[in-house]
Amino acid sequence: MRNCELMRKTKETDVYLALELDGKKSGEINTPVGFFNHMLELFRNHSGFDFTVIASGDVEVDFHHITEDIGILLGQAFNNCLKDKKGITRYASITLPMDESLVLASVDISGRPYLAYDVEYPTPAINNFDMQLIEEFLYAFASNAKITLHIKKLSGTNSHHIAEAVFKSLAYVLKKAVSIDKNNIDDIPSTKGVL
């Protein structure tokens, strides 16, 4: 079973997270940030992972701390679930449409943390959620998951649609990259023999 449960408690946030890579899209998303809940639900549904996050925090300040800490914990859980990464496909890419929006996402489960994020939103916020926080979430996730992640907006005029395309494309490439390569089930997909 490729699963993990983690908790993170600081003076700013309290987060519980559970992840199962070979799941059935089940779990609970419960944070005080409605728009972010919606994005995390899209992520769970399109990745096929079992994914639960229950979080509280200093949202009276803003949504930065809780968004970033969920990214940190999700990245740590993702990395822990993969263990030695034996048998995984490793790479995945998609160009994903959401109505007028088009987003490219590519991932390499490389052991080398890197985020290239080239996405601009027509509006600075949706329902008080600062759209810059999506990049903060993805940076925290990629850094702690130890993956190379590229996300680029190719087109789009609606901030909500663009954000949906970002989270759906992220879910898709992670699902593909962690899938087991049946022709190399006992191999680590690297000439170095380690990821």
Domain CATH for 74: 3.30.230.40
pTM: 0.97
Residue 123 lies in a domain: yes
Residue 35 domain flag: yes
| Half-sphere exposure (Cβ direction) of 18: Cα atoms closer than 13 Å | 12
Beta bridge partner(s), residue 180: 88
Residue 186 has pLDDT above 90, yes or no: no
- Residue 128, pLDDT > 90, answer yes
Give residue 58's identity as a one-letter amino acid code. Answer: D
In a domain, residue 191? The reply is no
Q: What is the domain count for the chain?
A: 1
**Start-end of H helices in the chain:** 34-47, 64-82, 132-145, 159-178
| 177 pLDDT tier (thresholds 50, 70, 90) | very high
Does the structure show a pLDDT above 90 at 130? yes
195 compared with 115, residue with greater pLDDT = 115
- What confidence score (pLDDT) does residue 95 get? 99
Give the residue numbers spanning the domain of 8: 3-184
Q: Within 13 Å of residue 51, how many CA atoms lie on the same side as its CB?
A: 24
With contact defined as beta carbons under 8 Å apart, do 66 and 59 qualify?
Answer: yes
pLDDT band at 1 (very low <50, low <70, confident <90, very high): confident
Contact 54, 40 (CB under 8 A): no
Task: Check residue 193 and give its pLDDT.
Answer: 80
Instruction: Report the pLDDT value the prediction gives residue 103, as an integer from 0 to 100.
Output: 99
Within a domain: 190: no
Question: Is residue 176 situated within a structural domain?
Answer: yes
Domain assignment present for 138: yes
Residue 7 DSSP code: E
Question: What tens digit of pLDDT does each residue of 83-103 get?
Answer: 999 999 999 999 999 999 999
